[in-house]
Amino acid sequence: MATLTEENVLGALAQVPDPDRGGDIVALGMVSGLVIKDGNVGFAIEVDPERGPALEPLRQSAEKAVYDLAGVTSVTAVLTAHRQAQGGEPGGGQPQQAPQQPQGQPQGEPQGQPQQRGGALPDGVRSIIAVASGKGGVGKSTTAANVAVALSQLGASVGLLDADIYGPSMPRMMGVSGKPTSPDGQKIDPLESHGVKIMSMGFLVDEETPMIWRGPMVQSALQQMLREVTWGELDVLVVDMPPGTGDAQLTMAQQVPLAGAVIVSTPQDIALLDARKGLNMFRKVEVPCLGIIENMSYFACPHCGERTEIFGHGGARAEAERLDVDFLGEIPLHLSIRETSDAGMPIVAAEPDGPYAAAYRQIAEALLPKIGGGARQAPKIVVQ
């Protein structure tokens, strides 16, 4: 089978004209972030934001042109309003380093509310918090799902945005699947589960489709999931960030108007300073840290209930104190936490009267004043 090359793909895309500008989309410099992995191709088409909605046929023609090439098994094209950094080559797919200033907004300090950072809040959404971790596998998504459900049980209207587009886990954890619909053909209605409105790339892309897109495409996908969804009135939108502290995460943190970030850490992760990296990432983009959660804090035996502190519990609390960041609470390592989230029913929903739901609710209670009502003032962060 012929090897698929960047030239093949760009050659096919050069056959796709921009209907308004009289030239092909490659010659016009509109194609960026081209990624080819096995037979899977992804790229972004950069367009003026005003033209975005009218250019869906262009996006589809571009996908089709590439799909028709030999050796292509899947194509994902996204329209993006974001410009590649100067000098960025089409195949590079590197995330932008500089924050994009939303149009009409001055450079420098955001105006008025701290929420203006990263653009305006989506209509009806009162605050957005990120749940992040220094590395994968610490239970960030499990925590995000349970905290979201706990916030909703406390009476808040809650949305959950699965920004972990490389490995979306919310459909599975929240037990929701299917394709969201778009009654007006413009905005997508989120799905709903356990009292929480949910948007995840997992709803839009087949689970089998590898997530190969990077850079501008990731940013575009996140912006679409944030802004082109009918969230309605939300007290808080919880964003499950991708794990790690690389450029993609940094760019995301810059582009979402976050009220603050919650760092999930295990005791050993604290020891390895991964959580500190997470904190520093948000600090770089001036997003306040709302606190640290210690997950898998100790082992709670499902048989006898005995508590074993495998990793030397309490590291996160001590580290939070040292960094002058709030400690929001600790969640034990317990089989039923994993089983319930694997079964699509987070433990807060499955066993609302149990001790683990109570632990998550305590965290949600600690978060509420930091995100709601008069307390929307950004908390002071002092991170060394």
Site residues (vs ligand ADP, CB under 6 A): 133, 136-142, 169, 243, 295-296, 331, 333-334, 337-338, 341-342
Q: Report, in Å, the least distance between residue 359 CB and ligand ADP.
A: 9
106: which residues sit within 8 A by CB, 6+ positions away?
A: none
Return the number of the residue (41 or 173) whose C-beta is nearest ligand ADP.
Answer: 173
Closest contact distance (angstroms) between CB of 169 and ligand ADP is 5
Whichever of 121 and 151 has its CB closer to ligand ADP, that residue is 151
**Closest residue (Cβ) to ligand ADP?**
139
In the bound state with ligand ADP, the residue whose beta carbon lies nearer, of 233 and 342, is 342
For residue 107, the SS3 value is coil
The least distance separating ligand ADP from the CB of residue 222, rounded to whole angstroms, comes to 17
Q: CA nearest 268: which of 240, 244, 241, 296?
A: 296
Report, in Å, the least distance between residue 28 CB and ligand ADP: 39
- Closer by beta carbon to ligand ADP, 76 or else 142: 142
Query: Element (H or E) spanning 282, and its range?
Result: helix 274-284
Question: For residue 374, what are its two tokens?
Answer: 């008069």
Nearer to ligand ADP, 9 or 252 (CB): 252
Q: Write down the least CB distance from residue 160 to ligand ADP, Å.
A: 13
Choice between 46 and 164, CB closer to ligand ADP:
164
Backbone angles phi, psi at 29, to 5 degrees: 70, 30
CB nearer to ligand ADP: pick between 170 and 225: 170
Rounded-to-integer distance, Cα 350 and Cα 343, Å: 10
Which has the closest alpha carbon to 330: 314, 352, 346?
314
| Residue 211: both structure tokens together | 């997530």
Structure tokens at 93: 């797919």
Q: Are 296 and 328 in contact (CB under 8 A)?
A: no
Min CB(331)–ligand ADP separation in Å: 5
* Chain CA centroid to CA 230, Å: 17
Structure tokens at 134: 């220094």
Decide: 296 and 331 in contact? Cβ < 8 Å. yes
For the bound state, the minimum distance from the C-beta of residue 282 to ligand ADP, rounded and expressed in Å, comes to 16
The answer to whether 233 and 266 have CB atoms below 8 angstroms apart is no
